Amino acid sequence: MAELLKVEHLEKSYGDKQVLHDICFDVAEGSVVVLLGPSGSGKSTLIRCLNGLEEFQSGSIVFNGKPVQPSQKVWRRLRQEIGMVFQSYDLFPNLTVMENILLGPVKVQKRKKDEAAKQALSLLKEVGMEQYAAAYPRELSGGQKQRVAIVRALELNPKLMLFDEVTASLDPEMVRGVLEIILRLAKNNMTMIVVTHEMNFARQIADKILFLEDGNILEQTAGNQFFTKPQTIRAQKFLESMEF
């Protein structure tokens, strides 16, 4: 598989506090990389660096064969190819579901509204939300809002999807529906980087696991190997502490 993303020696600090140390990894096209680790290990900061939402101080990112020269203009363009879904849905409350979804493709990508709306309806149908196209976010449950946020990101036809703890703020009964959508994307060979605390889900989906602690990658292993034979004592203890 071709390499879609390569991160080399990435370092990130907030003032004097360094939060990411010499991060190196790559993501093959069509694969799923899962970031695991205790809270505060740097997972969300790392994933936000990959979308230009956090600046990094040194190191490099190569996306789709081209080095990323960090600037607002470059990141604005790249966000059309690197979709991201957060735990806070970030939908515009004054816009309907359809209007939220069409904002990016019509305003940013300059696509025809009819064509974009047709794709949006198809995507909404895939996630069981087509009947809510005219609804406002306040009329939706948390799980429904998260589905809309995923559709909004997919509508831009990204090459890479980033998911940052997308089920963290959902009721347990809503979690499964959202995870099933991501699982389906994985089966359709969508390239993804996923931050999650859902261990069973991570085990099903991961081609590669990056295990982080204190801003360092302690372990970088194939998904099935990480759960059966972790390389480090720290990863072993982490797995033992998780119920799955």
Quick one: 171 and 208 in the same domain? yes
Query: What does the pLDDT average to over 161-178?
Result: 85
Over range 151-175, report the average pLDDT.
88
For residue 86, tell me if it sits in a domain: no
Query: What per-residue confidence (pLDDT) applies to 242?
Result: 82
Question: Is residue 198 domain-shared with residue 147, that is, in the same domain?
Answer: no
Maximal CA-CA distance, the chain: 55
pLDDT at 243 (0 to 100) = 67
Q: Is the pLDDT of residue 170 over 90?
A: no
CA distance 86 to 239: 24
Q: Which residue has the higher pLDDT, 27 or 1?
A: 27
Q: What is the pLDDT of residues 90-147, one digit of tens each?
A: 899 999 999 999 999 998 889 999 999 999 999 999 999 999 999 999 999 988 999 9
Share of the chain above pLDDT 70, in %: 99
Q: Packing angle between helix 142-154 and helix 113-126, nearest 10 degrees?
A: 130
Instruction: Give the mean pLDDT of 5-11.
Output: 97
Residues 18 and 72 placed together within one structural domain of the fold: yes
Compute the average pLDDT of residues 9-32: 96
What is the C-alpha separation between 72 and 228, in angstroms, rounded? 42
Of 157, 176, 194, the last residue of a domain is 157
In a domain, 3, yes or no: yes
> How far is the C-alpha of 99 from the C-alpha of 141, rounded, in Å?
18
Query: End of a domain among 136, 157, 178?
Result: 157
Domain limits for position 227: 1-81+161-244
Instruction: Report whether 120 contacts 111 (CB < 8 A).
Output: no
- Assess whether 169 and 244 both reside in one domain: yes
pLDDT in tens, 180-228: 899 999 989 999 999 998 898 999 999 999 999 999 999 999 998 999 9
pLDDT digits (tens, 9 = 90+) for 76-99: 889 989 999 987 778 999 999 999
The pTM assigned to this predicted structure is: 0.92
Q: Which residues contact 43 (CB under 8 A, 6 or more apart)?
A: 35, 36, 37, 164, 195, 212
Domain count, the chain: 2
Say which CATH number the domain at 225 has.
Answer: 3.40.50.300
